[in-house]
């Protein structure tokens, strides 16, 4: 447990806060105590997410789902206020380690422990299903061990079993390696899927490995659907038969959770001691408990000011815990469980933090949220692989698209010694404002969507653009338009309403048309605020423009589209990717049909994005938006570089520095979903112009595939 920080509240919902149990990009989990002395784990949402109605709705759903489950083997909710300015959820607390932590530390559990684990968790799931819910994420990290039995936690992605197709059908939900085949294949996540996940969990507890292996997520998912589970080493016939039934490929071949309870021999009656676990696991629980429960004594009165850090001196509680040992310490179900680590980290493991500097609530919020999700999926993928020397976690800060706030966000990231790299910022202005702070701290920053031709050079060279610039994207624009039959001259309309992005793209297209094809373009520039595009369009056509490229904003693009349609122009029409969005489709109407775009982001329907898109649907119940895959790639690149540094040390004991990671990123070549990544050693800008084509068809953006590079 960490001490409270200066910005932490003193009290939440009638709880005095004692310390931090963990933190992530979405919120902080505190250890709190009521005035009556009861301990609770309190999840508090960060202010930048409290204003997001979609996020608040998900948090409300988590609280409601957890309240509906009545089982001694599932963590109960003790209080919540999902409508507060900072929503919070409190659960009973027990300082038990996660099953994943125990197996990592000491290896597989004996058969008797696995049987007891299975029986009690089947009862927890039976209660979940009786409440009309499906947990959907049964895995070792969501089961914590106490001396009197396990506790199932985390109902953050639970759903009603009878949910509509919109929220339950065709979604890949859960954790690769612990998913049922029907979920991997896009089917409904039903109670049978929870039983399959429990079978995977029990096989992991018995062997120390996931039954469908590790490594690349797509390979794990393929083995889940196609291959028999790896149960080698399980010699007990009863346990093996039980696991084979739980891991049947077809849902109908699995027992229900209630039936599974009856099938498993043995039990751990309520109030039992720690006899169901090996002695070394009991000692681990006791040690963890003593360390976490060395808390300040209960004050006679509660002060209004924020409490200071817990004092290390002995208290009556500490003395009792030390003397009693594990059985008394955790006996009789005194507390329930809570996840102890920041998002993405494993209890007790080394954690390296990737920051996400994004616009989450400003004009670029859609891109910022997509990038945050992409980073989280990359961290999930990294942490799911076997044999990692460390774990990754995510810290997210919102600059609201404001340059001044972007500086403060950068300064906060640079002050956090655990943050080794940052993905972001979202916009050009925010990136330019934050760059000096990041460079001074030598903190490697990989921007996904800030695409200016160049940013000011800095001393440490820690700033990387992981997508082609506005100017570089003009190359595939020209290569797409001019080689077409009958197209000899490209009309280029630069609308200064689009700012530097439009100017750089339009100016570069003018140069590239000459350099790449020898064609004579006809450029026109219109001032900001232009709304009457008829005259300029007439001029482009009068100068024999066979094709048109528009660089500007969505409103201007719609005006140009309508003006071209009014003149029955049917030649190639292209626009900058910044135009893409609902606004252009709505304002252009039928005139939008046939317009094409060269974009730096890929699409969920791209073959290379299939596994990523499935994982995104599973984690967020939504298709990935523009920029999510690119952020996934950027975080994956950082993880690759960081793994190389840590792997080069003595069993990962040498902490990598930010400067070393900057150099490693600069030297890394990485094959991602959207493109291949390599950086120019002098300017550390992206080498290559991999881009993607889209066309408006039936008033929707259809993905056409990767854009072609010029042949010469």
| Dist. CA 198–CA 118, nearest whole Å | 8
Q: How far is CA 220 from CA 134, 143, 223, 323, in A?
A: 22, 21, 5, 46
Contact partners, residue 618, CB within 8 Å, separation at least 6: 171, 172, 173, 174, 179, 183
The whole-angstrom separation of Cα 383 and Cα 220 is: 14
Task: Compute the distance between CA of residue 111 and CA of residue 200 in angstroms, rounded to an integer.
Answer: 15
Half-sphere exposure of 523 (CA within 13 A, CB side): 18
Which one from 137, 402, 439, 633 is the annotated catalytic residue?
137
**Per-residue burial over 624-636, b = 16 or more CB atoms within 10 Å of its CB, e = otherwise:** bbbbbbbbbbbbb
Residue with structure tokens 């881009």?
691
Displacement of CA 343 from its chain's centroid (Å): 9
Q: At what angle do helices 403-415 and 428-440 cross, to 10 degrees?
A: 30
For residues 44 and 21, the answer to whether their CB atoms sit within 8 Å is: no
Query: Residue 292 and residue 96: Cα distance in Å, rounded?
Result: 10
C-alpha count within 13 angstroms, C-beta hemisphere, residue 322? 8
The Cα 170–Cα 400 span in angstroms is 33
Angle at the Cα of 137 (from 69 to 271), degrees rounded to 5? Answer: 45
> Which pairing describes strands 692-697 and 700-706: parallel, antiparallel, or unpaired?
antiparallel
Contact status, residue 13 vs residue 81, Cβ threshold 8 Å: yes
Ramachandran region, residue 401 (left: φ > 0; alpha: ψ -120 to 50; beta: rest): left
DSSP bridge pairs for 393: 353
The three-class DSSP label of residue 251 is helix
Element (H, E) at 20: strand 15-23
Q: Dig out the tokens for 223 from the structure.
A: 């083995």
Give the tokens for residue 645.
């540094």
43 annotated as a binding-site residue: yes
Length of the chain: 712
State the alpha helices, DSSP H only, in 264-351: 279-292, 316-330
CA distance linking residue 179 with residue 166, whole number of Å: 20
DSSP of 125-139, one letter per residue? HHHHHHTTEE-----
Known catalytic residue at 287: no
Active site residues: 137
Binding site, annotated residues for ATP: 43
Binding site, annotated residues: 43
């Amino acid at each position: 447990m960490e001490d409270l920080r200066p910005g932490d509240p003193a009290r939440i919902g009638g709880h005095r806060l004692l310390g931090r149990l963990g933190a992530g990009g979405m919120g902080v989990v505190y250890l709190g105590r009521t005035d009556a002395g009861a301990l609770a784990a309190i999840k508090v949402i960060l202010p930048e997410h409290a204003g997001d109605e979609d996020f608040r709705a998900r948090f409300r759903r988590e609280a409601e789902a957890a309240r509906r489950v009545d089982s001694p083997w599932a963590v109960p909710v003790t209080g919540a206020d999902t409508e507060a300015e900072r929503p919070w959820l409190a659960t009973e607390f027990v300082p038990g380690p996660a099953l994943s932590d125990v197996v990592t530390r000491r290896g597989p559990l004996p058969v008797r422990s696995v049987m007891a684990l299975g029986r009690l968790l089947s009862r927890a799931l039976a209660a979940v299903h009786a409440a009309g819910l499906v947990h959907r994420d049964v895995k070792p990290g969501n089961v914590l061990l106490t001396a009197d039995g396990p506790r199932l936690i985390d109902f953050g992605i639970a759903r009603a079993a009878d949910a509509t197709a919109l929220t339950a059908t065709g979604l890949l939900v859960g954790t690769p390696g612990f998913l049922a085949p029907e979920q991997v294949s896009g089917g409904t996540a039903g109670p049978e899927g929870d039983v399959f996940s429990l079978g995977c969990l029990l096989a992991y507890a018995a062997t120390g490995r996931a039954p469908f292996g590790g490594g690349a997520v797509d390979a794990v998912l393929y083995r889940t659907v196609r291959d028999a589970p790896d149960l080698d080493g399980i010699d007990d016939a009863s346990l093996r038969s039980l696991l084979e039934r739980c891991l049947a490929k077809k849902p109908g071949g699995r027992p229900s959770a209630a039936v599974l309870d009856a099938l498993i021999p043995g039990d751990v009656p309520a109030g039992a001691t720690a006899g169901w676990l090996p002695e070394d696991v009991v000692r681990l629980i006791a040690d963890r408990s003593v360390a976490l429960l060395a808390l300040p004594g209960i004050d006679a009165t509660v002060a209004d000011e924020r409490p200071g850090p817990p004092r290390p001196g002995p208290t009556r509680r500490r003395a009792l815990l030390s003397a009693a040992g594990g059985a008394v310490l955790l006996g009789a179900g005194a507390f329930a469980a809570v996840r102890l680590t920041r998002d993405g980290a494993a209890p007790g493991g080394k954690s390296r933090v990737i920051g996400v500097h994004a616009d989450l609530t400003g004009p670029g919020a859609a891109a910022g949220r997509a990038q945050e999700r992409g980073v989280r999926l990359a961290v999930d993928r990294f942490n799911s692989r076997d044999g990692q020397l460390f774990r990754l976690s995510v810290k997210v800060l919102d600059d609201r698209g404001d340059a001044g706030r972007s500086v403060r966000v950068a300064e906060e990231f640079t002050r956090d010694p655990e943050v080794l790299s940052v993905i972001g910022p979202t916009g050009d202005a925010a990136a330019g404002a934050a760059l000096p702070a990041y460079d001074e701290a030598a903190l490697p920053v990989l921007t996904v969507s800030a695409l200016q031709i160049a940013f000011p050079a800095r001393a440490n060279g820690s700033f990387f653009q992981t997508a082609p610039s506005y100017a570089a994207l003009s190359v595939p624009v020209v290569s797409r338009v001019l080689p077409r039959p009958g197209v000899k001259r490209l009309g280029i309309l630069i609308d200064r309403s689009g700012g530097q992005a439009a100017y750089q793209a339009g100016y570069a297209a003018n140069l590239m048309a000459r350099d790449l094809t020898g064609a004579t373009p006809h450029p026109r520039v219109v001032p900001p605020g232009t709304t009457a595009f008829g005259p300029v369009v007439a001029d482009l056509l009068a100068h024999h423009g066979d094709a048109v490229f528009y660089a500007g904003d969505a409103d201007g693009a719609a005006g140009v589209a309508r003006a071209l349609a009014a003149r029955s122009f049917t030649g190639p029409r292209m626009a900058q990717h910044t135009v893409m969005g609902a606004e252009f489709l709505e304002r252009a109407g039928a005139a939008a049909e046939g317009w094409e775009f060269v974009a730096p982001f890929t699409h969920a329907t791209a073959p290379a994005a299939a596994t990523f898109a499935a994982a995104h649907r599973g984690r967020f119940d939504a298709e990935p938006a523009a920029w999510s895959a690119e952020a996934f790639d950027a975080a994956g690149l950082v993880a690759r570089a960081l793994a190389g540094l840590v792997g080069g040390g003595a069993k990962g004991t040498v902490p990598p520095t930010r400067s070393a990671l900057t150099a490693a990123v600069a030297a890394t070549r990485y094959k991602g979903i959207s493109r291949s990544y390599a950086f120019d050693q002098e300017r550390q800008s992206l080498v290559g112009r991999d881009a993607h084509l889209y066309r408006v068809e039936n008033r929707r953006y259809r993905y056409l595939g990767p854009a072609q590079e010029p042949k010469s």
